[in-house]
Structure 1
Amino acid sequence: MPATHRTGPALGHKVSPRHAALMLVIGLLLPLAIGLAGLLQPAWLARLEHGLQDELMRRTASGATAQQVVVVDIDDVSLAAVGQWPWPRYRVASLIERIHQAAPAAIAMDILFPEPDRSSLLTLQQTFKQDFGIDVAIGGVPPGLLDNDGYLGQQMARAGVVGARYFYFDHATPGAQPADVQPLQVGGRTDLLALQEATGVLENTAPVARRTRSSGFVNQKLDDDGVLRRLPLLIGHGGRPQVSLSLAAVMRAQGLRAVQVLATPDGLALQVGTRQLPMDAAGYATLRFDGGPASYPAVSAVALLAGQVPAEALRGKVVFVGTSAVGLKDVHTTAMHPAFPGLRIHALMAENLLQGRFLHTPPWGAAVALAACLATGLLMTAIFVLAIRIPTLVAASAVVPAAALGLAVALYLRSGLLLPMAAPCLSAGLLFMVFFITRYALERRRALAWRRQLENARQVTIESMASVAETRDPETGAHIKRTQHYVRAVALHLRATGHHTALLTDEYIELLFISAPLHDIGKVGVPDHILLKPGRLTPEEMEQMKQHAEFGRKIIFSTAQRIEGDNFLTIAGDIAATHHEKWDGSGYPLGLAGQDIPLAGRIMAVADIYDALISRRCYKEPFSHARATQMMRELRGKTFDPVVLDAFFEIEDTIQAIADEHRDEAEGDASPEVAAAQVIEGLKQHRPAPLPAAASTPRDHAQQP
């Protein structure tokens, strides 16, 4: 069975102890830094956290329609039908009366009336008296309808409507205090709160405020990225906590006058009846969206005034009255929708309270995130140090953040816990990139080392095979080194002058360089008495000498067949088999001509003959460079490819420099006297000696009779 060889190094060797220690340090310090950043919550990490939580909310939103709240919307259709905003207060009072008749659980007014109604008859009387000194008498009107504000206040008191207020934090309103008739109370561990302290308050006009049993603020605050995710349930003002509109509406629906602040293992919570609503020390609670605005049902105010809304649509529900009209711009960007009306935001929070579906980030969440970062670092370090192959590393490292995310999602769905995910995910992602790049670099360095070993082994193999031939022909000396550099120099010049550019790649030229020493490997099959014969060969001996090209081809190709895939011996085989072919077809062993001769063989023919001419052989003394090149020029288009030979002469200085650098120690130019002495000595021994003037090529290249 032919032997096979591995074509590359196996990926995934275990890393060295030094690199393992380095990766362990990285696997601890990087997650530690990110985990500590998670404790401080810088803006960039908070944005990433918000993005992950928003995506989680979108992916898990039930899409269910709210069951316990409904919105009465003074929408654009209502304004177009009834008139522009603000409506006269008696019309708002009529709207409240219609809602009250449907027996809702509570009514909350997301509208402020801070100024007197100028369309009120009483206001008109006062205006005429003040501006013109005229007493305007109005008859036939019930006293209660003379003052629209008083009439609205009367209807709100009869229906138990929860009024609205707005707190200021940038300026004060001296003497202004919440005007609840029966203010809602906040008790319990209020000492643990760190509420925003309002400096002023905007209330309903006095005739409305005096009759309002309870009120709640409508303040909302966006996160730094402009997205609304939380609502304040409590704000400090006047030395005590004030409640939000949605919380006040739920308290009204449940008949509660007080709520309690509790300290729980998961942080602060607000006890509202039987529910515990998680919140932070600043009094904020996180909204849990079930869908977009359409998930929180609404009825149009004009339809309700026209008697087109059945009482069942409002009965037993918490009703929020307000407006989503585009011109009033009370819309907010949320995770679920880019234009979520503020009116429905209050309804959403009330639905969360009534359903007990809360979201909260426990105070120990950051510590858990830090621990998760460190655990992830240790686990991923172990994976990257011990894993066998790169694909295994990728798959195993993906499991770590996936498992962490899976746990976070499970806790979110089961109990509404919002565990910080950004720091562990970021830690896992950065570690993966660092470790993957590190491991890839180690594998690449190992592969390069393996490649160098392979190239060294290949070079040693070639030189060893060439040395076998050289031991049969010891007078060649540095012939191998010189021909190697000749062929590379000629190949590079051919490519530089636009010849054979597709074939003469860097890899091909390098293989040509390292394969050149095998061009005469076939001489191992030539008998010594022929190979080492100092005189002219007989025709029979010349035929045996010619067989070394075929011997070389067989030796190299038989070896190449035992190596899997493409290998360096292919070019070596071409060189050994064809460097004695001639351009005019008179060469051997196959008599190839012109372009049918492989380029490697044509280049090698020029290099080999030149070096043989200028070198000492057992059958000749060396010729001078000038004499050798003159003889070669005479063979242009006969023995040599004209293009290759021209390239050889165009870099003649480079060729001579190579010859000088790798000159044989005993090598020297043959003088005419020496050549003549050789001829005379040959005649004395009755053996033919080479004639310098007549011999045109080395004997293994010549067609001798």
Structure 2
Amino acid sequence: MTPYAASAKLPRRPALTFVLAGLALALAIGLSGSFQLAPCTRLDRAILDTLQVHTASGRQAANTVVVDVDDRSLAAVGQWPWPRYRLAALIDRIAAEQPSAIALDIMLPEPDRVSLTEIQQTFKRDFDVDLSFNGVPAALRDNDGYLGQQMARAGVVGARYFYFDHATRDDRPLRPGIGFDGRVDLLSLDRASGVLENVEAIARQTRVNGFVNVRADNDGVLRRLPLLIEYHGVVHASLALAATMHALGVSSARVESGRDGLSLRIGQREVPIDPSGYALLRFNGPSHRYPSISAVDVLAGRARAQDLRGKIVFIGSTAAGLNDLHRTAVDRLFPGLKIQSALTQDILDGDIVRVPVWGAMAALIAGMLLAALLCGLFVAGCSLAMLASVGLSAALVLLALATATFLHASLFLPVAAPLLVLGMVTALCVVVRAALHQRRERHWRKQLENARQVTIESMSAVAETRDPETGAHIKRTQHYVRAIARRLKGTGHYVDVLTEEYIHLLFLSAPLHDIGKVGVPDNILLKPGRLTEDEWVVMRKHPEFGRQIILSTAQQIEGDNFLAIAADIAATHHEKWDGTGYPAGLLGASIPLSGRIMAVADIYDALISRRCYKEPFSHEVSTTMMREMGGTTFDPVVLDAFFEIEDEIRRIAGCFRDEDEDEDESDSPPARSSDSVVAPAETSV
């Protein structure tokens, strides 16, 4: 099998290890989803936001309307906050159209400074002057009291705001106006430490109140609203919940526990909540899908009666200066006033989205099963393409299931964990498969190297059976050529040729430099004396014999042929730099670099070695002779590299000594005089 095989079945032990690793990864991701940790939470939120946008009904809210003290109303009437008598007049106009409920989403914690009573008190305190007003009814002298009376008459639901960072004084009892029973013990509500309430004159006349707290998720997007908050052991309702219950004529709600989680039972309606008392919003669309009427139009009598009759009306302000805007999935600037309207409409329509209590466990189990499936397919040898196809199909099924349950059951299934499991386990499969491929590639390359080495050694062994030169000569010349090539590369010579692969192949191929001698008859090859001219003609054919032998073998090998360098070495290692060599008489750089390097290594080793026709020369004598051949026999650059690593050359010669050579170099015979030295050309055959 090649290292890039499409698939490979894992052995039992690695397969078991891989499956356990995949399941452990799935378990870790599933638990992070259960504890709402990133990145599961971020992905679930992204999926929820996408569903909110793409499944929004787009219809106008039918049961709620906002009366908006907008910028146009402020421009027409002036000042904010409005005088309380003007708010009272607005409430009176709305109440005349018989809405099902009115909620005032405006906090009035300070006395009205334009109230006649307040003016009298200010003048008395600051100037010790007693002011009196004639002809003004007593009810109109206190704007706060007057507004409180109108709110009580119309049954308006008031607003309050809870603090969680500091405590406030409790000078008067805080009445929620509605009650809760049932499985309240299962709730873990936010506990407030303080409250901002309307002024006493308004608060004491308001029978039902609701808080206006909102809290975005930690990414800044508003997705949930608290329906319940605990303050001093009492459960309080949000403004939207209180207004809805008031419109339905219900004064209490029951906390119930069901198969999917907790709910508030309001008459016949079931409102899903989480243990913290939050409800997950489901928007009809952007804020303009929730109708509004300008307050100035209501005061001027220009509002249509049918736009208010039977509706739950929220009075408040979306004026830009108040900055009561929230980022949601469907609208980046959703007014807080209309958030209350959206929640109320969701309660009435039964569209509150629930995250089922079993969702996290189901996601964990689904992730474990999917991990087991992918790991099983992987260890069975399935291709990465098939694994990716299975993973993608499973992801699409999960998303389709989440969409269907969101649309038809108002359930949001947290599918982020199994989706992340699919992605991470698939990535793990890719990484492991790549690692296996790399290991197989290394094994394959090692086998290839072994095959190369065996081929070369087998061919070298054939030459050794005929050549009196020993295997030590082959080892020495191998290491000489590699050392010379590395020195050339290190000094910046022939760097375009001397790659690591080239140097490695040069090392492997060097033993074949004299394989052509198998074609030389024994009486010539083994002759102890000088060769005759005719014998030299035959002997000088061995480079061409070697080239033909190697190329005939190379033709049987497909792909990148590692014997090409060996053929060059065999054919050209007796060529000379000045063109007087054999067999082709090549000149200078026309001689392949491998042949030039081999010539230096081969002649040096021939000089220092014992042959049937000569005794070994010392290193000093050998190198002296070689220096004289620089520029004629040898490439000067290659010869310089040889002398630059002279110590390494001597070390190599010492490491691979001939078996019949004495250990002590001092026993070597003395160098012969120059007139008795064998000619270099003869020495290097």
Please report the TM-score for the alignment, with normalisation by the length of structure 1: 0.86
Tell me whether 18-27 or 92-101 shows the greater mean CA deviation: 92-101
1:585 aligned to 579, 586, 607, which one? 579
Cα separation, 1, equivalents of 2:4 and 2:129:
106
Structure 1 segment 31-430 matched on structure 2, within 5 A:
31-39=26-34, 41=35, 44=38, 47-48=41-42, 51-57=45-51, 60-62=54-56, 64-68=58-62, 69-100=64-95, 104-128=99-123, 132-139=128-135, 141=136, 144-168=139-163, 170-171=166-167, 173-174=169-170, 176-178=172-174, 183-196=177-190, 198=192, 201-209=195-203, 211-212=205-206, 214-224=208-218, 226-237=220-231, 241-306=235-300, 310-311=304-305, 313-337=307-331, 339-397=333-391, 399-401=393-395, 403-430=397-424
Deviation, structure 1 residue 616: 2.8
Cα separation, 2, equivalents of 1:13 and 1:691:
70
Change over 3 Å in CA distance of 1:80–1:257 after alignment to 2: same
Partner of 2:16: 21
2:652 aligned to 647, 651, 658, which one? 658
SS of 1:472 mapped into structure 2: coil
Deviation, structure 1 residue 671: 7.9
CA contact 1:177–1:238 (8 Å) conserved in 2 = no
Structure 1 segment 534-545 matched on structure 2, within 5 A:
534-545=528-539
Cα separation, 2, equivalents of 1:24 and 1:46:
22
Cα separation, 2, equivalents of 1:395 and 1:522:
58
Deviation, structure 1 residue 418: 2.5
What is the percentage of aligned positions where both structures have the same residue?
55
* 1:527 and 2:524 matched: no
One-letter identity of the residue aligned with 1:696:
P
What whole-Å deviation, never above 9, does each CA across 1:321-349 have from its counterpart, x for those lacking one? 21233443433444455553321221221
Partner of 1:444: 438
1:696 aligned to 663, 680, 683, which one? 680
Deviation, structure 1 residue 358: 1.9
CA contact 1:468–1:524 (8 Å) conserved in 2 = yes
Change over 3 Å in CA distance of 1:624–1:192 after alignment to 2: closer
SS of 2:283 mapped into structure 1: coil
Deviation, structure 1 residue 610: 1.7
Tell me whether 348-357 or 27-36 shows the greater mean CA deviation: 27-36
Cα separation, 1, equivalents of 2:408 and 2:247:
27
CA contact 1:383–1:397 (8 Å) conserved in 2 = no
Cα separation, 2, equivalents of 1:124 and 1:336:
47
Cα separation, 1, equivalents of 2:11 and 2:269:
58
SS of 1:410 mapped into structure 2: helix
Change over 3 Å in CA distance of 1:63–1:77 after alignment to 2: farther
Deviation, structure 1 residue 50: 5.7
What whole-Å deviation, never above 9, does each CA across 1:484-508 have from its counterpart, x for those lacking one? 0010010111111111122212221
CA contact 1:387–1:393 (8 Å) conserved in 2 = no
SS of 2:541 mapped into structure 1: helix
CA contact 1:105–1:317 (8 Å) conserved in 2 = yes
Change over 3 Å in CA distance of 1:674–1:226 after alignment to 2: closer
SS of 1:478 mapped into structure 2: helix
Cα separation, 1, equivalents of 2:529 and 2:137:
147
Change over 3 Å in CA distance of 1:23–1:312 after alignment to 2: same
CA contact 2:40–2:420 (8 Å) conserved in 1 = no
Deviation, structure 1 residue 517: 1.0
Partner of 1:648: 642
SS of 1:474 mapped into structure 2: coil
CA contact 1:557–1:570 (8 Å) conserved in 2 = yes
CA contact 2:53–2:285 (8 Å) conserved in 1 = no
CA contact 2:84–2:112 (8 Å) conserved in 1 = yes
Cα separation, 1, equivalents of 2:267 and 2:343:
16
Cα separation, 1, equivalents of 2:512 and 2:267:
96
* 1:546 and 2:540 matched: yes
Deviation, structure 1 residue 28: 3.2
Deviation, structure 1 residue 102: 5.3
Cα separation, 1, equivalents of 2:439 and 2:519:
42
One-letter identity of the residue aligned with 1:576:
A
Cα separation, 2, equivalents of 1:367 and 1:671:
86
Partner of 1:683: none
Change over 3 Å in CA distance of 1:607–1:246 after alignment to 2: same
Change over 3 Å in CA distance of 1:628–1:700 after alignment to 2: closer
Tell me whether 504-513 or 485-494 shows the greater mean CA deviation: 504-513
What whole-Å deviation, never above 9, does each CA across 1:378-414 have from its counterpart, x for those lacking one? 2232133223444545554555555444433433333
CA contact 2:53–2:330 (8 Å) conserved in 1 = no
Deviation, structure 1 residue 483: 0.8
Cα separation, 2, equivalents of 1:584 and 1:98:
117
What whole-Å deviation, never above 9, does each CA across 1:498-535 have from its counterpart, x for those lacking one? 11122212221111111111112222233333323333
* 1:489 and 2:483 matched: yes
Cα separation, 2, equivalents of 1:156 and 1:339:
30
Tell me whether 417-426 or 507-516 shows the greater mean CA deviation: 417-426
Cα separation, 1, equivalents of 2:71 and 2:631:
96
Cα separation, 2, equivalents of 1:286 and 1:354:
14
Deviation, structure 1 residue 552: 2.1
Cα separation, 2, equivalents of 1:35 and 1:634:
79
Cα separation, 2, equivalents of 1:10 and 1:278:
54
SS of 1:697 mapped into structure 2: helix
1:510 aligned to 504, 509, 532, which one? 504
Cα separation, 2, equivalents of 1:558 and 1:43:
68
Please report the TM-score for the alignment, with normalisation by the length of structure 2: 0.88
One-letter identity of the residue aligned with 1:114:
P
* 1:458 and 2:452 matched: yes
CA contact 2:48–2:412 (8 Å) conserved in 1 = no
CA contact 2:356–2:412 (8 Å) conserved in 1 = yes
Cα separation, 2, equivalents of 1:506 and 1:522:
27
Cα separation, 2, equivalents of 1:104 and 1:150:
23
Partner of 1:679: none
One-letter identity of the residue aligned with 1:83:
G
One-letter identity of the residue aligned with 1:267:
G
Cα separation, 1, equivalents of 2:432 and 2:448:
24
Q: How many residues align?
A: 679
What whole-Å deviation, never above 9, does each CA across 1:285-319 have from its counterpart, x for those lacking one? 11223444444343443454455655555455433
Cα separation, 1, equivalents of 2:16 and 2:160:
62
SS of 2:376 mapped into structure 1: helix
Deviation, structure 1 residue 644: 0.6
Cα separation, 1, equivalents of 2:520 and 2:431:
56
Unpaired runs of 5+ residues, structure 1, are 1-5, 677-689
What whole-Å deviation, never above 9, does each CA across 1:9-40 have from its counterpart, x for those lacking one? 5364322222222223323334334434544x
Unpaired runs of 5+ residues, structure 2, are none
Change over 3 Å in CA distance of 1:430–1:546 after alignment to 2: same
